[in-house]
Amino acid sequence: MYQHIDGKAWRHIWLIGDLHGCFNLLMPKLRAYEFNPYQDVLISVGDLIDRGPDSLKCLELIHQKWFFAIRGNHEQMAMDALEHQQLSLWELNGGAWFEHCTVNEQAEAQRLLQACHELPYVIEVDTDSGVHVVAHADYPAAHYQWQQDVDWHRVLWDRQRLSDHLAGNHSHIDGADHFWFGHTPLKHRYDVLNQHYIDTGAVFGGELTLVQLQ
């Protein structure tokens, strides 16, 4: 459920918002920031797939040594759809790309989505700027603790904390220095207390947010 990354092993650590198949936006941004795949690492807040033009290319990133990802609700929807052979809900939420793949591409997508069962729900990153915790939608607790059991469905789906923040009802999460989330597309990156929301709607024409943690 949890994965730990030691910042001492890397030169720079970058964090990327929800990709949703926008591989064409990611690569120019990495080049612009002189990302070095031998020295640097990129962490995704989840939702690599669906809605955008290159879901399969984004999914293939999970086998790159320089790339780490947590699972998003879209990966979970895809895994559930294939496991139960019920694709309609996934297709309604951006998964129609799978039906448009060739037979070989579908086989590759199924293999990669099977590998997504190994993706953590939470990544903890130790850096020279403190301890960063990455989860897709929320960390549904007032206190963070390594390997703590929480409501994993809420980790993937919950928007209540963000809604409360936007309404002026703020809640702190202690136990780490920074918490990073995606899931809800916003016009701009939103920072409140020690929490940061970085899904800025790239697949809907917004910016693809890239953040340097180290």
Catalytic residue list: 74
Alpha-carbon distances, residue 193 vs 38, 43, 130, 162, 180 (angstroms):
34, 22, 15, 12, 12
**Three-state secondary-structure class, residue 111:** helix
The span from the CA of 174 to the CA of 141, in Å, is 9
| Token reading at 121 | 């729900």
Cβ–Cβ < 8 Å for 214, 49: no
Report the distance separating Cα 162 and Cα 170, nearest Å. Answer: 9
Please tell me whether residue 152 adopts helix, strand or coil conformation: helix
The helix (run of H) or strand (run of E) holding residue 175 is none
In whole angstroms, give the CA distance from residue 126 to residue 146. 12
